């Protein structure tokens, strides 16, 4: 059974894919394949801020057709304009309170907590719908990110009522360790979108949840 955690009316669990527009014209097809492979959450993650609204709306439409929430990284204003399902916030982004005011009570708002359990506690108190920890393993996407030890996930799972997301360097070979440590969600970018066969790659992650 897919691991899930409830918070109010929310329910999360499974594979969370981070879609990078660097994939260019291939991204919609690759996202569609990831959804077929079982992705349960999608985040549009454009650190270069090269926003083309019509392209992002196409991705959002693919997610809606599958009943999968579509989030935007960093930018509550963009999420609002796109009518996205929510936003993911990092250390230097808008506050949770500001994001909630912009997006409303139904939005999914996640927070990066790195390796900091105190930050996670504060995020939950401020209304975060999930908290993300990482880099759990060495990541080519964010090689400068501090490592997040597995016991942090275990502590978070024991203390917090929201879903625990693990991110950073996650593979089908090491993802099970994170689920057993306490993660509810595995966030993956290159491991899915960098694969030759995206649907198969996504399924190799979603299969991990069947064993936990």
Q: Is 135 a catalytic residue?
A: no
Q: Which residue has the tokens 């454009």?
A: 46
**Domain limits of the chain?**
5-211
Classify domain 5-211 at the CATH superfamily level. Answer: Aldolase class I (3.20.20.70)
Q: Is 45 a catalytic residue?
A: yes
Mean pLDDT over residues 149-174, rounded?
96
Return the structure tokens found at 102.
């912009």
High-pLDDT (> 70) share of the chain, %: 91
Distance CA 117, CA 14 (A): 22
Mean pLDDT over residues 144-161, rounded?
92
Look at 19 and 51; give whichever has higher pLDDT.
Answer: 19
Taking CB atoms within 8 Å and a gap of at least 24, the contacts of 52-61 are: 52/21, 53/81, 53/82, 55/21, 55/27, 55/28, 56/82, 57/82, 58/28, 59/19, 59/27, 59/28, 59/31, 60/84
CA dihedral 49, 55, 59, 64 (to 10 degrees): 110
Look at 4 and 58; give whichever has higher pLDDT.
Answer: 58
Per-residue model confidence as pLDDT tens digits over 81-119: 999 999 999 998 989 999 999 999 999 999 999 999 999
Q: Exactly one of 10, 81, 142, 157 is catalytic; name it.
A: 142
- Specify whether the CB–CB gap between 107 and 87 falls below 8 A: yes
- pLDDT for the residue numbered 99: 97
pTM of the model: 0.92
Q: Exactly one of 112, 139, 189, 204 is catalytic; name it.
A: 112
Residue 6 binned pLDDT confidence (cut-offs 50, 70, 90): very low
Per-residue model confidence as pLDDT tens digits over 176-202: 999 999 999 999 999 999 999 999 999
Q: Exactly one of 45, 60, 100, 203 is catalytic; name it.
A: 45
Instruction: Please choose, from the candidates 24, 71, 4, 20, the residue with its C-alpha nearest in 3D space to the C-alpha of residue 191.
Output: 20
- Specify whether the CB–CB gap between 44 and 198 falls below 8 A: no
């Amino acid at each position: 059974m897919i691991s899930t955690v409830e918070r109010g009316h929310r329910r999360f669990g499974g594979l969370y894919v981070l879609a990078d527009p660097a994939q260019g014209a291939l991204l919609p097809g690759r996202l569609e394949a990831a959804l077929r492979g079982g992705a349960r959450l999608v985040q549009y993650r454009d650190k270069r801020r090269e926003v083309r609204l019509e392209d992002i709306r196409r991705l959002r439409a693919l997610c809606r057709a599958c009943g999968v929430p579509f989030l935007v990284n960093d930018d509550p204003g963009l999420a609002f304009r796109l009518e996205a399902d929510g936003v993911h916030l990092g250390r230097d982004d808008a506050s949770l309170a500001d994001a909630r005011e912009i997006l409303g009570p139904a939005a999914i708002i996640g927070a990066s907590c790195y390796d900091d359990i105190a930050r996670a506690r504060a995020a939950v108190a401020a209304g975060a719908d999930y908290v993300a920890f990482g880099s759990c393993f060495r990541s080519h996407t964010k090689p400068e990110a501090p490592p997040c030890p597995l016991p942090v996930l275990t502590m978070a799972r024991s203390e917090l009522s929201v879903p625990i997301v693990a991110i950073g360097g996650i593979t089908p070979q090491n993802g099970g360790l994170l689920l057993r440590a306490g993660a509810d969600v595995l966030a993956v970018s290159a491991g899915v979108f960098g694969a030759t066969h995206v649907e198969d790659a996504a399924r190799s992650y979603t299969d991990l949840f069947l064993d936990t």
